[in-house]
Every structure is written in structure tokens, then in C-alpha cells.
Amino acid sequence: MGGILDNVIFAAFLCLIGGVATSSQGAVNAKLGQYSGQGLSSTIVFCIGAITSLIYFLIEVEGRPPADLASRLHQAPWWTWTGGVIGALFVIINILTIPKLGAGTTSAIIVCAQLVFSCIIDNFQFFGIAYRTYTLWRGLATVGLIGCVAAIAKF
């Protein structure tokens, strides 16, 4: 018997929440940047995010980290440690661009870039992801996405 995360509908629901959260996050962070300064804003965001992630971790492991955690982390590829830098880059880019481009245009460009690069990741199995062919349909969807960004951005 699988857990709730094995349920496709629940996983899709979480993705919807993630999409709303990501769109909101950029606007919220940009507004905080107006009050605190852009650099401090991203620092505050990541400190609060680190605390939130720590709480989730402690819930997940029921307050007892696995005994072999250090050896498991030592075995991780070097690039798995870049997630925090990538996350910070994402937050900083949002803080810098939303005041100039607006939340809709910024999100459209980012989502388009995410989807296109995600298809490339699937096709070339970057980061150990299972292979999924970049099909004609994915290619047509890519063109459609770029068209949507142009319409939203009014280029």
C-alpha cells in the first residue's frame, strides 16, 4: 500500500500549490526588497526558508536523523550541493526583474525556460533523470510556449 504521495491526483494538486506559491513568492520577495534592499531581501527569504525546511526535515525523520546520514551525504555527486545556489539565483532574479517586467511577464519567461530546459533534461538524462524523448509534440509545445510568453510580455 503506497503513501499519499504515490497518488497522482494528490501529486498534481501539490504541483498546483507549488505554481501558486512560486508566482506569489516572486512578487512577495520583490516587495520585501523595496523595504529591505534587494540583497537583504534574498537573505531574509533564505533564512526563513532554511527554518521551514529544517522543520519539514525534523517531521520527516520524526526528530531522529538516520545514523548513516553523513556517509550518504558524502556519496552524493558534487552537483547535488548546488541546489541552494540555484535557489538563491532564482530568488534574486525574481527580486530584480519583477519590479521592471511585472509578475506575469517574469513568471511567463521563467516558466517557459523551465519547461524547455526540463524537456532537455529528460531527453539527455541530465542529473540522472529517467529518459523521456523530446518528441515532435514537445517541440510544438515549446513553440507554443514561446508564443504565449510573447503574448503575455507584449513584445
pLDDT tens by residue, the chain, 155 residues:
457 878 889 988 988 898 888 888 888 988 999 999 988 999 999 999 999 999 999 998 887 888 898 999 999 999 999 988 998 999 999 999 999 999 889 989 998 999 889 999 999 999 998 999 999 999 999 899 889 888 988 85
HSE-up (13 A, CA, CB side) for residue 89: 6
Which grid cell is 71? 556517509
Q: pTM higher than 0.95, yes or no?
A: no
Is residue 94 within 8 A of residue 24, CB to CB? The reply is no
Which residues, in sequence order, are CB contacts of 59 under 8 Å at separation 6+? none
* Pairwise CA distance, residues 66 & 73, whole Å: 11
